[in-house]
Amino acid sequence: MTGFVDHIQEALRQFEFASALDIVIIGAIIFLALLLMRGTTGVQLLRGIVILLVVALGLVRILDLKVLGWVMRESFPAILIVIPIIFQPEIRRFLERVGRTGRFGWGLRPSYDSVLDVVIEAAQNLSRDRHGGLLVLERETGLEEYCDTGVRLDATPSAELLEGLFYPNSALHDGAVILRGNRVVAASCTLPLSGRLGRSHLGTRHRAALGITEHTDAVSIVISEETGDISVAASGRMISRLDGARLGAILKGLFAAAEVSQVNGRGLRRLFR
């Protein structure tokens, strides 16, 4: 114990202004990196890497696993090379944001308190008119990489705006409209298609609606151009043939759990598992 205290005292004696500056710079870099990945699926990957490293270090320390410890030490230089490759899209986006003025676009978890009714109304009107549509509501996992594939809007959502975006033969009617909180972020976005077996009967729009929920925790609403049917996808599952009341109940159960009973909230979560 005395040796440990002496070590701390010696470290404090060597602590200078440059040391404090080092700590501040490293902390700022880590903070910016976390903010950078907050709006992307990279944060999920980073979380998995951190969990694996913590578990492996814990096993090495507790069980004194010499081989595993050696592998981790020898792999460190390779990790430094692999990490920039894995997070290349996030790093590129960060450098682009630094290079231009304006806000960075990082924020808190989106809130849909005032936009759900707009989405429900737009979906009902598109269904009535047999206009196909695909709306994606971002949750905790960011969708920045998918927004980059479309046209940036940053607009206040309204039923008229959403219906106009999906009007047949309009410039932005193909692809998905992505909403983050109370903003329409982008339109005409390209989404990953679901590759699950047994879904071959689905069209491209429905496969995209399902695919984005397989890769992220987003919720998608898709309106069939052929039948006018409204479907909701979440957690890789899809519920079809919804009317306005059922659509509203599902969306509010997913995004506004505080406004519905706990029983309904649990039922909705089980439904999409």
The structural domains of the chain, with segments of one domain joined by +, span 2-99, 116-271
Cβ 255 vs Cβ 247: under 8 Å: no
Torsion of CA 22, 26, 31, 33, to 10 degrees: 150
Classified by CATH at the fold level, domain 116-271 comes out as YojJ-like (1 (3.40.1700)
Whether the per-residue pLDDT at 198 is higher than 60: the answer is no
86 CB-near residues (< 8 Å, 6+ apart): 42, 45
Distance of CA 131 to the CA centre of its chain: 27
Query: What does the block give as tokens for 80?
Result: 């430094």
In this prediction, residue 240 has a pLDDT band, given cuts at 50, 70 and 90, of: very high
Q: How far is CA 147 from CA 94, 137, 154, 246, 250, in A?
A: 15, 12, 11, 28, 25
Cβ 192 vs Cβ 211: under 8 Å: yes
Distance of CA 79 to the CA centre of its chain: 25
Query: What does the block give as tokens for 18?
Result: 């440059």
Please compute the mean of the pLDDT values over residues 55-68 and round it to a whole number. Answer: 85
Name the helix (H) or strand (E) containing 98.
helix 88-99
> pTM for the whole thing?
0.62
CB-count exposure of residue 229 (10 Å: 0-12, 13-18, 19+): middle
Name the helix (H) or strand (E) containing 219.
strand 219-223
Q: What is the pLDDT of residues 98-140, one digit of tens each?
A: 554 444 444 445 667 678 999 999 999 999 999 999 999 998 7
Helices and strands of the chain, counted as H and E runs: 11, 7
In three-state secondary structure terms, 92 is helix
Query: What does the block give as tokens for 166?
Result: 């999906």
Lowest mean pLDDT, pick from 26-35, 122-131, 162-171: 26-35
Please compute the mean of the pLDDT values over residues 50-55 and round it to a whole number. Answer: 85
Query: What does the block give as tokens for 199?
Result: 């879904």
